[in-house]
Structure 1
Amino acid sequence: MAQLTMPHFFSDHMVLKSDSSTVFWGWSKPGRTVQIKASWLPDTLTTVAAGTSKWKTVLPTAKAGGPYHIVIISEKDTLKIDDVLMGEVWICSGQSNMQRSAKEKLPQMLDALHGPFNNNIRILNVRDIAAPWPQENIYDQWSLCDSQSLRPFTAIGYFFAQKLNQKLNVPVGIINASWGGTCAEVWLPAGEVLSDSLLAQKARLQTIAPRKPNLPGQAWNAMVYPFVGYGISGALWYQGENNTVSWDGYAALFSKLIQSWRSNWKADFPFFFAQIAPYNYKNKGIQKGALVREAQGQVALSVKKTGMVLTSDLVNDINDIHPLMKKEVALRMADLALADVYHQTAKNVQSPVYKDYTIEKDKVIISFHHMEQERLLVKGGRINDLYIAGADQKFLPADYKIKGNRLVVFNSRIKKPVSVRYAFSDTALTNLYSTNGLPVSLFRLDKWEVPTNN
């Protein structure tokens, strides 16, 4: 009986990260020599299966292109992997807004199913499976793009790949490991959550549901951990709606998630994410959706090699938690990658995020990150959901003036202003922009536990 096997994602049509190396592994009879003959390498790689049957080596990759093939030999057993491309590899994860596809009748992806299809874009769709401990294999393989393979595939991942391929002219592989309705706790190693008293306490707020895992580490174990060591260019993330219940722990949780992924891969890869969209959570008091968005902005500023794209101007219906405009989110993520990873543009591709403020008499002057060489502008008659308050914590609609890249906020009824809030509610849509075309993120100058529309 043949004993030479490999994880299913080492398959025909796979994409390996070019000009680098990847861990390459499988199983054979203990003690047997395993030879790896890659068509782009002049020499054969050799390793030996350990007592656990596992063998492992580091496989150098080639410059972008292909196709190549790999032959793996262990005594009389032989495996062959055909149609291997070298290029860029990104992993997508999160909950349903990342997972959303043509299967849910997403119009932009339904249009994409008509083609044309690009042989240099390859996809790997990881099915939804959870596990109580780390796994070493999955059930899925790489696919070429066609109307059948793309139907259940992440729209954001696919449109991101299209833009990268168009601009870089290299193959792009996308791994989709996302699961609708999941909390962030399930997407990092359980020990990272349970060893932290705050995160462990917040994790207990996640309730059991029949359609998703709820315990720390369960999706990480089965859908992400198997890929650890496989060379990736970076990660894309869209999640947070299911952590509104634990909003005050989200910044710490999300920061630890990013750190744990990088630590496991032993690589400081870029990590780009979408700020969750405005949605009517029916919160009558504390606006927990806004607070998660605020936490995501804090992570973008505090964790290196991250980037946040806003969705607050891409919402067609605040009563639908799944905004339709996924291609626009993907293109913003691709712009981040093209600027920060591939250095293909000098354009400012970051949304403005609150930086600091000063008070001059009855006016509050607000500055923003990512506004060098840019100006503020309003799309529409007035800035939406801009409020100002004094020490009484009573917010009133604010007047404003734009002075270059700064915002001056005031109200004639408030002589001693203390705080300003912009779009700081679950449902507020943003219409204040930078001249780079990207919206300004919500912000507040206070930490008061009062709703803005009080």
Structure 2
Amino acid sequence: MKKIFLLSVVSIVCSVTCFATVYLPAIFSDHMVLQQNSTVKIWGWSEVEEKVSIKPSWDTTTYYAAGNSLAKWETMIKTPKAGGVYTITVKGSYNEIVIQDVLIGEVWLASGQSNMEMTVYWGLKYDEEVKNATNTSIRFFHIPKSSATAPQEDVRAKWVVCSPEAMKGFSAVAYFFGRKLNEQLNVPVGLIAAAWGGTPAEVWTPEDVVKNNQVLNEAAAKIQPSKWWPNLPAYTYNAMIAPVTGFKIAGAIWYQGESNTGTAATYQQLLTAMIGSWRQKWNTELPFYFVQIAPFAYNDSNVCALLREAQTKTAASVNNTGMVVTSDLVDNINDIHPKLKKEVGERLANYALADAYGKTGVAYKSPAYKNMQVEKNKIRIAFNDAGKNLMLKGKEATNFFIAGDDKNFLPAKTKIEGNTILVWNETIKQPVAVRFGFSNRAMPNLFSSEGLPVNLFRTDDWPVDTSPVKK
């Protein structure tokens, strides 16, 4: 009799395990945050034609799906305004999954290279912030470094609740960005981090976008291999971005560019194409805010300035994007990883609060070059987003240079007049061009009255020296 019972148990187990059970990608797990007031996609895998029910606890609606010929299913569900805690029950023919501790709020993706990847463990001195990092309304989804030759459908990650320990191992820029959104919007915030130090933007861009563009393809071929990160187009996109492109997000923040200084001439085109490809995959014009790379003692002259110029042009030409300037947030010019990540994250948050969420009274745009006017032996520079006044942090403005038609730039004197500035050099009687902060190391001291640094610029389009720096 015991043998018959044992055989019966084995038979039952086999009858269940011989069929596929419903399962979900990692992005749908306990502690997750879903985008509020939206129609969001939920998907997974099952037996072909298996009926799947999806029941969120925030309303009485039950949604249904069925496995297709690829053993996949998906459905769209409506989310309410920010709140929680909720559950989502996913039930198939043979199993049931209950996703616990679900919040509804604002979800953002944070991506890029090392300055976005950087955590407290990298030597950041945020002891007080770590101690006070317990916040059940902030959730992290950290995608580990991985690469693939084709787009993947899942990642090895899970949602975790913000705690001191979790915060220490998460992107510092992303954390401080999310913390400020949480404080100012008073809603839960979900942060998806996908960053890898050293990676050029090509590896975050779908392969066809690069390969089908001769200019971008030729630039990508110039990127040198590294033992520390992939260098081929799409490798990190395939493994770290593609698996979550179906997950509804509010927008993306990006900190990258240092590894593209050698191909700065094509970076505007590359970043524009990458942003467009991401928006196509998410099927919406995502707000996309990025960090201008900081001053650093590069080995080649002016490559940092040219890359920053490309970033500036991208922000000016691509709709629903924005750039924060960080020329004043450098603690060591010889360290490519400035440690002032709290300020960077909060500047990004201010941009999102004002631009994406319509918050008023938030200073978020750095003054940027508008136009120039020659006035006898001087040039007057006007700015966008300068407010009523410009101000100096110091007695004399630094990093201004002026040239005549001989293209020889000399240090300039300056005078602030409201939200414009006069620039001149006594030896140049007929000036034609001005450059400001246009070098690798420049940390100018000109700011808006709200305290945001004026963005670097040049009024000319002359060739720029990128020869090795003389030691």
TM-score interval (norm. to shorter): over 0.9
Q: What is the match of residue 5 of structure 2?
A: none
Aligned AA (1:40) = W
Q: How many angstroms does 1:400 deviate by?
A: 1.3
1:363 to 358, 378, 384: 378
Q: How many angstroms does 1:346 deviate by?
A: 3.4
Aligned ranges for residues 379-418 of structure 1 at < 5 Å? 379-418=393-432
Q: Which secondary structure does the structure 1 equivalent of 2:307 belong to?
A: helix
Q: 1:450 to 1:336 in 2, by over 3 A?
A: closer
Q: 2-side partners of 1:41 and 1:242: how far apart?
A: 48
Aligned AA (1:299) = T
1:50 aligns with 2:65: no
Aligned ranges for residues 10-25 of structure 1 at < 5 Å? 10-25=28-43
Q: 2-side partners of 1:31 and 1:218: how far apart?
A: 33
Q: What is the match of residue 12 of structure 2?
A: none
1:438 aligns with 2:456: no
Aligned AA (2:37) = D
Aligned AA (1:13) = H
Aligned AA (1:311) = T
Q: What is the match of residue 102 of structure 2?
A: 84
Aligned ranges for residues 25-424 of structure 1 at < 5 Å? 25-108=43-126, 110-283=127-300, 285=301, 287-371=302-386, 373-424=387-438
Q: 1:249 to 1:450 in 2, by over 3 A?
A: closer
Aligned AA (2:118) = R
Aligned AA (1:402) = I
Q: 2-side partners of 1:313 and 1:93: how far apart?
A: 22
Q: Is the 8 A contact 2:133 2:164 kept in 1?
A: no
Q: How many angstroms does 1:115 deviate by?
A: 2.5
Q: How many angstroms does 1:425 deviate by?
A: 0.3
Q: Is the 8 A contact 2:33 2:104 kept in 1?
A: yes
C-alpha deviations, 1:8-47, integer Å up to 9, x for none?
Answer: 1100000000011211100000111111011113121011
Q: Which secondary structure does the structure 1 equivalent of 2:104 belong to?
A: strand
Q: Is the 8 A contact 1:374 1:436 kept in 2?
A: no
Q: How many angstroms does 1:356 deviate by?
A: 1.3
C-alpha deviations, 1:227-249, integer Å up to 9, x for none?
Answer: 11211011000000000010100
Q: 1-side partners of 2:31 and 2:197: how far apart?
A: 27
Aligned AA (1:351) = S
Q: Is the 8 A contact 1:187 1:257 kept in 2?
A: yes
Q: Which structure has the larger Rg over C-alpha atoms?
A: 2
What are the ranges of 5 or more consecutive residues in structure 2 without an aligned counterpart?
1-16
Q: How many angstroms does 1:269 deviate by?
A: 1.6
Q: Which secondary structure does the structure 2 equivalent of 1:364 belong to?
A: strand
Q: 2-side partners of 1:443 and 1:203: how far apart?
A: 26
Cα RMSD after superposing both structures: 1.4
What are the ranges of 5 or more consecutive residues in structure 1 without an aligned counterpart?
none
Q: How many angstroms does 1:349 deviate by?
A: 1.7
Q: How many angstroms does 1:205 deviate by?
A: 1.2
TM-score computed with the length of structure 1 as normaliser: 0.97
Q: 1-side partners of 2:211 and 2:464: how far apart?
A: 31
Q: How many angstroms does 1:451 deviate by?
A: 4.4
C-alpha deviations, 1:265-288, integer Å up to 9, x for none?
Answer: 1111211110000000121x4x11
Q: 1-side partners of 2:129 and 2:216: how far apart?
A: 40
Q: Which secondary structure does the structure 1 equivalent of 2:131 belong to?
A: coil
Q: 2-side partners of 1:374 and 1:72: how far apart?
A: 56
Q: 2-side partners of 1:136 and 1:418: how far apart?
A: 55
Q: Is the 8 A contact 1:348 1:370 kept in 2?
A: no
Q: How many angstroms does 1:111 deviate by?
A: 3.7
Aligned AA (1:3) = T
